Amino acid sequence: MDNMSGSTSKSAELLAHARTVTPGGVNSPVRAFRAVGGTPRFIREAKGPWLTDVDGNRYVDLICSWGPMILGHAHPDVMAAVQDAASRGFSFGTPSENEVALATEIVRRVEPVEQVRLVSSGTEATMSAIRLARGATGRSKIVKFAGCYHGHVDALLAAAGSGVATFALPDTAGVPKSSAGETIVLPYNDVSALEAAFAEHGDEIAAVITEASPGNMGVVPPAAGFTKALRDITTKHGALLVSDEVMTGFRCSAAGWFGHEGQQGESAPDLFTFGKVMGGGFPAAAFGGRADLMGMLAPDGPVYQAGTLAGNPVATAAGLATLQGCTDEVYAHLDSTAHAIADAASAELTKAGVPHTVQWASSMFSIFFRDGAVTNYDDAKGQDTEAFSRFFNAMLDQGVHLPPSAYESWFVSASHDDEAVAHVIDALPAAARASAASTDSAATL
């Protein structure tokens, strides 16, 4: 279904050409719109809360580059920082002031993090944190949870449904069984499954890695007591706890989900991973934690990790300016804006008779097209993805760009003003009716 407000012929032409030079025509699979159908929009420019595609169509952006654009696109303070840094050179291959400034800001914001190492992507951050955990403990096995995404690291691209203490098989071609075979996949929010896994393999488990509040199966926050159970069980068995805050870091609060959830002192994770917001839209990420663990990294310790563009001076300038712009007022605006949109969407879906539930992680939210709470990946997979696809395309037709998957978080920015929110709300009634269309048709058969 193409945008009724204007032609999408240039996007279609670009996609056709892109497919000849790039697999699927995209550089990250979800962008291909395979989950929702239709033509992916090739965006030419973005400003504030608005995207403009190559055909000149405008959309309110509820992707926000999958989270990083917390201040909005082309924010003047970030633009000024980037232009100033770029005017002095793009990359040095040496230490620079900006990387120290960004690391200092991260350490200042997240109390348990005493040192960080900058990298270029969330995948690098989780890969490096896992290597560090294995090096620190001398153990090899990793526990992860089904539905949590930690980048395309071989050992973490695995899911095994809801089996207790199930050793993972690769979830994608190209990953050897030996890589995934060191990973134990458990159902999220299931403390008994975690206890069973440690009872059987506790002295082999280097770390448990979890999204601080998952957003990659849709937003599925940790149940009451789950975060503390993760800390207690790992501590008891001498394993490390790695909290993946690539998505939630500095978005859920000034200190990410850690700050939002209020965990302090001994309940803090050993290692954190960060990305997205801390890069301000540039390729930048980090992992960090206690100084004694981080001190095991080369050049001080035996665990090797490196990156040519790590700590890039332009990317770190963008990240620092973005974090400095994330004030209490910004976080309050994100919360009020997200609730205005989510509440209006829920009201229209209810009016149209569409089963759904809304779930939150601070200002991050997802609308699952199913009744009842979603507590794990199996619950998330139980939603009506076809209903979401109809909803998505109807919103796109009216100039609102949602994440093109039913298993993602919706994001807002500080730049989403009354005009942008009104545009979204005005599009909701027709989208809710479109989402209900097949249900109505089936009822008449």
Just list the catalytic residues. 149, 244, 276
Residue 223 C-beta-side C-alpha neighbours within 13 Å: 11
Calpha distance 436→443 (Å, rounded): 11
- Identify the H or E element spanning 205: strand 205-211
CA 415 from chain center: how many Å? 20
- Determine the Cα angle at 55 with ends 53 and 57, to 5°: 60
Query: In the numeric block, which tokens belong to residue 152?
Result: 């395309």
Calpha distance 388→435 (Å, rounded): 7
Calpha distance 89→78 (Å, rounded): 17
Query: In the numeric block, which tokens belong to residue 213?
Result: 């509040």
CA-CA distances (angstroms) from residue 433 to 37, 215, 347, 365, 394? 18, 26, 12, 21, 9
CA-CA distances (angstroms) from residue 63 to 76, 128, 176, 409? 20, 27, 33, 8
Calpha distance 38→2 (Å, rounded): 7
Calpha distance 74→93 (Å, rounded): 27
**Helix, strand, coil distribution of the chain in percent, nearest 5:** 45, 15, 40
Q: In the 8-state DSSP scheme, what is residue 30?
A: G
The 10 Å Cβ neighbour count of residue 358 is 16
CB-based contacts of 93: which residues, under 8 Å, 6+ apart? Answer: 308
Strand partners, 209: 242
Residue 238, by phi and psi: left (phi above 0), alpha (psi -120 to 50) or beta? left
Calpha distance 418→102 (Å, rounded): 32
The 10 Å Cβ neighbour count of residue 132 is 26
Nearest to 408 by CA among 29, 9, 4, 107: 29
First to last CA, the chain: 25
Residue 133 C-beta-side C-alpha neighbours within 13 Å: 31
The 10 Å Cβ neighbour count of residue 430 is 16
